Amino acid sequence: MDDLGRSYATGKRKTAVARVWIKPGSGKITVNKKEYTEYFGRPVLQMVLRQPLEAAERLDQFDVYCTVKGSGPSGQAGAIRHGISRALTYYEPGLRSVLKKGGFLTRDSRAVERKKYGKAKARRSFQFSKR
């Protein structure tokens, strides 16, 4: 925790990196200087952001400010979720077991598999013609 009473953590997902600060407040979530409902248009992505706060029953008790870069909307939402979860555990260590049980503290290591030579994509072969 810093001198302003904020807790800081980083979250990652795919190639997205989120820097997250949380502090006691009214439940305002800001992503890259925009309201999270404005930044993430899809309701599913908005829900992903709220999940750790809902699991910890702290939805209207913390203000979240974060900056995120890299990847696409889904990866960014996942990175912010990871960051919020980690920041919550730094602020309130008692929440660790609840968040761990929900799987919010685990870094989702799935990423795009690299393309191999001799193949059209990572695993897809080039079209085969018998004749």
pLDDT digits (tens, 9 = 90+) for 57-76: 988 999 999 999 999 999 99
Predicted confidence at residue 20, as pLDDT, reads 96
Per DSSP, which regions of the chain are E strands? Answer: 7-13, 16-24, 29-31, 34-35, 62-69
Specify the CATH number for the domain of residue 86. 3.30.230.10
Indicate the pTM of the whole model: 0.91
- The answer to whether position 76 is within a domain reads yes
What is the average pLDDT across 95-116?
94
- Chain segment 6-49, per-residue pLDDT in tens: 999 999 999 999 999 999 999 999 999 999 999 999 999 999 99
What is the average pLDDT across 71-99?
94
- The answer to whether position 35 is within a domain reads yes
- The answer to whether position 117 is within a domain reads no
- The answer to whether position 93 is within a domain reads yes
pLDDT at 3 over 90: no
Q: How confident is the model at residue 2 (pLDDT cuts 50, 70, 90)?
A: confident
* The two three-digit tokens of residue 91, written as one number: 């602020």
pLDDT at 56 over 80: yes
Structural domain containing residue 54: 7-102
User: How many domains does one find in the chain?
Assistant: 1
- The answer to whether position 129 is within a domain reads no
- The answer to whether position 45 is within a domain reads yes
Q: How confident is the model at residue 4 (pLDDT cuts 50, 70, 90)?
A: confident
Give the highest mean pLDDT range of 1-5, 97-101, 118-122: 118-122
- The answer to whether position 119 is within a domain reads no
Sort 53 into a burial class: Cβ within 10 Å, 0-12 / 13-18 / 19+: buried
83 with 11: CB under 8 angstroms?
A: yes
